[in-house]
Structures are given as C-alpha cells and as structure tokens.
Amino acid sequence: LLQPAVSVGNVGQLATDLVISTLNMTKVGYFYTDCLVPMVGNNPYATAEENSMELSINAEVYSSPSKKLVVLQIRSPFIKNKYRPFCQTLFSWVKSSKCARVVLLSSSHAYQRDDEQLLGTPLRYLLTPDLEKAVGGLMQELNWKEMEKVAAYPGINDTEKVLHIPGGGITKLLFTESCSKGIQMAVLLKFCSEGDNIPDAFALVNYLNEWLQLIKSKVNTSSQWKIPSSWRLLFGNGLPPALF
Amino acid sequence: REIDVLWTLKSGASTESSAAEPFVCSKFIVAIGHNAAAFLSSFILDSVCWEVVGVVKLWNEWCRTSNTTKVLPTDSFCLFYRLISDPTVLLCQCSCYVAEDQQFQWLEKVFGCMQKEGLQVTILSTCPVADYKTQESTLTLPSPFLKALKTKEFKEQVCCPLLEQPNIVRDLPAAVLSYCQVWQIPAVLYQCYTDVIKLDTVTIEAFKPLLSSKILKSLVKDVSESTKILKKLLTTNETHNNIYI
C-alpha cells in the first residue's frame, strides 16, 4: 500500500499523483471518512473528454494488479482532533485487507535541518523493525540515509534521542504506531519548503522508484513520469490583459 | 460541536431524528447559501404547497441558526420543507455556514432519516468567481455562470457545462456530493460562480436554467409571484445598505 502523508508542500500527495497518473491506475474504491475535509472535483487524471467526467472525492483508492500495488490518495487536510481516529481506521483497513507492506510518502520542513543535514541528499527513509529485517540490506546497497533522531532536550541533555518530523503531519504518528503494531512500514521523506513543490515531488518519486522499480528509469530523468492534467494552473489564472 | 436536526413529520409533534423511521424520499433538493436559498424561495417555495418539516440547530464561529421558522432571506437558518401533494419531495434551505467538523454530522443526521432507494439529490450553491481557475483571467469571464458536477449514477441531462479540472468544490456541497457518490445515489450539484457576496438578484437569476430541468420543472410556481418576491428581496437588502445615509 502506497500512500502520502499530508505534509509540508504536499510533496507526498504530489508524488502519489505522479504514480497514479504514470501507471494509469484504476480507481477501485473510496476511503469514506469523517476525518478529512470534504471536497469533490472531476477526474484529476483525465486524459480525454470521455474520462474527464468521473467524480473524485477527498480520499480514493487506486490499484495496479500487475504491480501488486494499491495506492490511497488523500486530497484534503485533516479535521481538527481527527488524526488518531484516521490512523486507527487506516490500520484496521491495512490489517483486514492483509496488506503486506505500507509505504508512506512524506516531507519535513527544510528549515529544521541541522548543519549536517544541510549537506548531501535531502531524502531520508525510515523502516519499522519488521521491515528492517526484510529490506534493511537493500537500503544499505542503495546508499540511502536513515532519518536522524534528534535530542529530546536539546542543549540540556543530548543523550536521549527521539524521532522528530516537523511538518510531517501524521507521519510520526503512523510510524510509531506501526512499530508497536508490528506492521511493515517504510517512510520515504524529503526535506523541503512550501512553494513550487513539483521538483520535490519528482525527487521523491524517483527515490521511491530506486527501491520499488515501478517504472524503468534511466538515471534521474524526470520526464518518465506523467503529469496529471489537474496540475495545470497551480499558481493561479491567466492575467487580465488590462494589467498591461 | 453538536448539531441537532429536529423533524416535525407527524402532525406537529417534534421527534428527534434518531427516533423517526426512515421516510421515503424521491427528490431531495438542497440549497446552500443565501442566494441559492433565495432562488428556491422565489421560484419554488410557497406557504400553500409546502410545509416545514424540519429544522437544524447549530452554531459555530461564523453563525448561529435562528430559532424561528419565519426567516428573512438574510438570516442564517437551515429548514426542511416537504411538498404537501407529494410527501416524498423534500427541500432544504441551508443559509448558515456548516463548519468542517459539523459537515459529517449534518450528512449523517439528515440522510440517516431517509430511505436511499429511488432517491435523487440536487444541490444548489454559490461560490466566488475569484476561486474559479481558468486559462484566462477571471475579470473577463461573464459572471455569474453555472457549472455542474454529477455523481456516477446521475444519468439525466445537466443544464450547464461540467466543472473542469483543476477546479474543486468544498464545504457542505462537497460533503453532500461525496456522500452521494460513495453511496451511489444519483446527484447533481449546480455551482454558481458569482462576484457578489451578498444576496443579489442577478446571482439568483443565474440559477434559472434549472427551472427547465426534469427535477424542478414540476415544482415551479407562478412566474408573477417570483418577480414579486425577487423585488421584495431587493428592498430588504437596500434598507440594510442605507445605514450610512
């Protein structure tokens, strides 16, 4: 199961859009919940007049049987106080659908990085103990960097370290719950800031591809991914001619 | 924050929504926002053919619903009406803002009382034209204009063009349409993009194409009545606007 966390720059969601759009995944269901702000719109992955009229809601499930991949796309923010109920609903679904692994795409505030994190790759991963056993070695081979822990009480006591994902939304909650529930979960995240997050989305989805090999890629070519039609006009309408 | 839906379905006796048996509903027309509600008041509702059968009580940072059923078009209220000649036709005017944490409750409490087989839902709502995303600038668009969104099960003709990507709809209209899409109820949402925030006759008249639709055709009242009511709306508005004279 691949899903985004609603986080800084919406990078996880944008990356998920790229996966759904490129692999031409079919919508198989809705994740109907009272935890997300409602929204509707017409098919965001429309490629032609015929398929543009299907209604989409705030949380939908897509699948690609050939790749044994199920994707949950989340399109709106959480309603206050609904983080935990959402996580619980999600986990009970993961359990009942006998999902083998969960991959969470997320992001974290770039300005919270320490000196060391400012250098090198802005991409990080996290694995729950159960998944570590299975793919930990692969991560080493890919030369991936694990998300560093930070001091619980910086300046006062540097020995106690905790996981801190500022701007990650429910990422930390989902990860810690997965660890304790024995769910195999991987978190892939990128440090970024709000703004034009399309390049961040490409970076994250290419990172994901290094592991899952969803599409055949030459080294770092972002043109392999298909941009959904709904990404038009992300930064507003055309300008009024009278302005000039 | 709780919202209460009080139904008065049987001869004046008020019942809590949970106690009532699900009633049969064939058409449910919901108008969200002042202008949409005023459209229904002017062209469909009257005190002879329709009776009040329910009211929603809620409050949030934006509004508190009024306690009476005799409401002004500029008030915040949420009332349910039923057609006396055909009790399966239900109409709702919701001109109060339903906050995001209340929207799900509204859905459950309202739809929870209805039998969903054979139900068809029509939603009317308005939204600022500045929210409309398009290649050209919104200044050159002839507003107000209508756009529609429909669920998979809705097979009838739509009275205006469909809302193109990347536009989306939010709040209660989105919540109702999402509910209908998930539970496979045929439903259509007519969103009027307008540049006037307050009650405005031009915006109200923008909904007129809907009067020829299959759902509303049989419910339209006398045209002369409508013009009278629209005029009255204009004057109620003006008294508020003359406050500085």
Q: pLDDT at residue B100 above 50?
A: yes
Domain ranges of chain B: 23-64+73-234
Residue A165 has pLDDT above 60, yes or no: yes
Give pLDDT, residue B235. 67
Residue A104 is inside which H or E element, if any? strand A102-109
**B137:A239 CB<8 A:** yes
pLDDT at B14 over 70: no
Contacts of B189 in chain A (CB under 8 A): 40
Judge whether A59 and B181 are in contact, CB under 8 Å. Answer: no
In this prediction, residues A16-31 reach a mean pLDDT of: 90
Could you say which DSSP state residue B5 is in?
A: E
- SS3 letters for B25-59? CCEEEEEECHHHHHHHHHHCCCCCCEEEEEEEECE
Is the CB of B182 less than 8 angstroms away from the CB of A32? Answer: yes
Q: Does B135 contact chain A (CB < 8 Å)?
A: yes
**How does residue B32 score in pLDDT terms, banded at 50, 70 and 90?**
very high
Q: Give the nearest partner residue to A240 out of B100, B139, B175, using CB atoms.
A: B139
Asked whether B147 and B162 are in contact (CB, 8 A), the reply is yes
Q: State whether CATH 1.10.10.10 applies to domain B23-64+73-234.
A: no
Question: What does the pLDDT read at residue B9?
Answer: 63
- Residue A241 above 90 pLDDT? no
Q: Is residue A52 pLDDT above 90, yes or no? A: no
- Whether A62 shows a pLDDT value over 80: the answer reads yes
B135:A233 CB<8 A: yes
- The overall average pLDDT reported for chain B is 82
For A77-120, what is each residue's pLDDT tens digit? 999 888 899 999 999 999 898 888 899 999 999 888 888 888 88
- Cβ contact (<8 Å) for A43 and B150? no
| Interface with chain B: mutation pick from A28, A32, A39, highest number of B CBs within 10 Å | A39
pLDDT tens-digit series, residues A175-225: 999 988 888 999 999 999 988 889 899 999 989 988 888 887 665 555 688
* Contacts of residue A188, Cβ cutoff 8 Å, sequence gap at least 6: A103, A104, A105, A106, A123, A124, A125, A204, A207, A208, A211
**Residue of A38, A233, A234 lying closest to B174 (CB–CB):** A38
Residue with tokens 């307050």: B198
Cis before B186 (ω within 30): no
pLDDT tens readout for residues B187-220 = 999 999 988 878 888 888 888 888 888 777 777 7
CB-nearest to B170 from A38, A53, A230 is: A38
Among A41, A53, A242, the residue with its CB nearest the CB of B168 is A41
The mean pLDDT value for A13-22 works out to: 91
Q: What is the pLDDT of residue A221?
A: 54
Q: What is the mean pLDDT of residues B10-26?
A: 59
> What is the domain partition of chain A in residue ranges?
2-214+224-232
List, in order, residues 6 or more apart from A177 with CB less than 8 Å away.
A87, A91, A183
pLDDT in tens, B155-166: 888 889 898 888
Q: Give bridge partners of residue B78 from the DSSP assignment.
A: B94
Banded pLDDT at B10 (limits 50, 70, 90): low
Model confidence at B24, pLDDT cuts 50, 70, 90, reads confident
B166 touches chain A (CB under 8 A): yes
Please give the DSSP secondary-structure letter assigned to residue A95.
Answer: H
CATH code for the part of the protein at A2-214+224-232? 3.40.50.10900
Q: So what's the pLDDT on residue A219? A: 57
Strand order in the sheet with A2-4: A26-30, A59-64, A69-74, A2-4, A102-109, A185-192, A123-127
Q: What's the pLDDT score for residue B21?
A: 67
Which residues from chain A sit within 8 angstroms of residue B136, using beta carbons? Answer: 237-238
Quote the mean pLDDT of chain A: 86
| Whether the Cβ atoms of residue B8 and residue B53 lie closer than 8 Å to each other | yes
Highest-confidence range of B128-132, B173-177, B194-198, by mean pLDDT?
Answer: B173-177
pTM for this predicted structure:
0.87
For residue A20 the two structure tokens come to 């759904």
pLDDT at A39 over 50: yes
Q: So what's the pLDDT on residue A46?
A: 83
Q: What is the mean pLDDT of residues B89-100?
A: 90
What is the model's pLDDT at position A130?
86
Q: For strand A55-56 and strand B78-83, is the pairing parallel, antiparallel, or unpaired?
A: unpaired
